[in-house]
Structure 1
Amino acid sequence: MTTAPKEPNTSARGRTSRTGAARQKAKVRVTKRTREDGDNPGTGHWRVYFLEHLIETSNITASALYAKTVPSRAYRTRKQDPKFAAQWDAALTEGYKNLEMDLLAYLRNPNPERKIDVASAIRLLTLHRQARAQTIAQDEDCSEQEALDALDAMLEDMRRRAAANTALLAAEGDPGEAGE
C-alpha cells in the first residue's frame, strides 16, 4: 500500500513557507504596560509618537517603528485623514528646519566628535526644497519659480534669525570676559 505525499499546510490565502507551515501576517507587538496605559497603536495615540519622532528624524519608517506601527498604516491614515496629513507635513517641515539649523551650526563650529555628511545633508535639503516648491505651486496656483523664491525668502529669514541669535549669545558672553 502506497501513501500519497502530504500536502503542505496552507493558510487562508493558500500561502506556505518553505517548510510547509502556514505563513502568518507579521504583527506589531505591544507590551502589556503600553496597552494598559492606553497607548495601543489600535488607538489614535500612535500618531503622537509617530509625529514626534518624524520631527526628530524626518524618517517615516523609523517613526512608524518608534510608534509601534507599520509605515503602511501611517501612509493610509495620511491619505484618509486630512488633519493628520497636515500634521505630517508640518512635522516634516519642522524636521527639515532642524536639519538645516544643525547643518549651519556644524558648518560654523565643526565638532570633531560629531560626524555629519555635509554633501548628503545639502542634497537632501535641496530635494526637499524642490518638492516643497512643487507642492506650494500646486496648492497656491503659482509658478514653481515663485514658490522657490518664497522658500528662499523664508530660508534667508531663518538664517538672519540664527545669526542674530548667535550674535546675541556672543554679546551676553562678552560682559563676563570684560570684567577680567
Structure 2
Amino acid sequence: MRNRADKPAPRQWQRTFLEALSETSNVSASAKRAHVPPREAYRLRRCDSDFADAWRAALFEGYANLEMEVLGYLRDPAPKHRMDVASALRLLAAHKDTIAGERATRANVSAAEVRASIERKVEIFRRQIANRREPDADEH
C-alpha cells in the first residue's frame, strides 16, 4: 500500500530498511533500498524508541554476520572471493561499543565484559591475518 506521495507506506519502508540494515550495517544503503532519505530514518530513530530499539538490533545482527563472514573467510584455505579483512576489522572495532551494548542487553552482562570479548576476537583475527602473511620458515 502506498501513500499519497507515492512513497512506501511507513511500516513497509521501516521493515525494508531494518532488513537491509541487518544485512549491510549501512544506513545509506538501507535507506536507498527502502526508498527513503537517510535523514528520515535518523529522524524516526530519534523520535520512536521502538524503531530505535529495532535499529540497534538490526545493526547488532549485521555486525554479527560480518564477524562470521570474516571468520569464515580466514578459515577458508581457498576463499572464492576476496575480502577486505582490514576494513572489516576496522568497522567492527569502530562499532565495538554498539555491539557491546547490544550483547550486554541480550546477555545481561556488563558492556565492559562484552567489549573485552570483542577485543579478544579482533586480536585473534589480526593474528590469523599475520600468520597468513608470514611465509613458512621451512620453505626457505
Structure 1 gaps of 5+ residues are 1-33, 140-145, 157-180
User: Residue deviations 1:98-143, cap 9 Å, x none?
Assistant: 000000000000544311111111111111114545x57xx9xxxx
User: How many residues matched?
Assistant: 113
Which residue of the partner structure matches residue 72 of structure 1? 39
2:117 & 2:80 partners in 1: Cα distance? 33
Match of 2:48 among 76, 81, 106: 81
Q: Which has the higher contact order (CA 8 A, sep 6+)?
A: 2
Q: What is the aligned-residue identity percentage? A: 46
Q: Map of 1:100-179 to 2, 5 A cutoff? A: 100-133=67-100, 147-153=111-117
Kindly name which structure, 1 or 2, has the bigger radius of gyration based on alpha carbons. 1
> Could you state the TM-score of these two structures normalised by the residue count of structure 2?
0.68
Report the RMSD for the aligned CA atoms in angstroms: 2.9
Task: Give the counterpart letter for 1:63 in structure 2.
Answer: S
Return closer, same or farther for 1:131/1:88 CA change in 2, 3 Å cut-off: closer
TM-score (norm 1): 0.54
> Residues 109 and 132 of structure 1: is their aligned pair in 2 closer, same or farther, counting only changes over 3 Å?
closer
The one-letter code of the counterpart of 1:102 is E
Question: 1:63 and 1:35, CA in 2 relative to 1: closer, same or farther beyond 3 A?
Answer: same
Query: Could you list the per-position Cα deviations for residues 60-104 of structure 1 after superposition, in whole angstroms to 9, with x for gaps in the alignment?
Result: 011001001100000000000000000000000000000000000
**Structure (1 or 2) with the greater helix fraction:** 2
Contact 2:73-2:79 at 8 Å conserved across structures? no
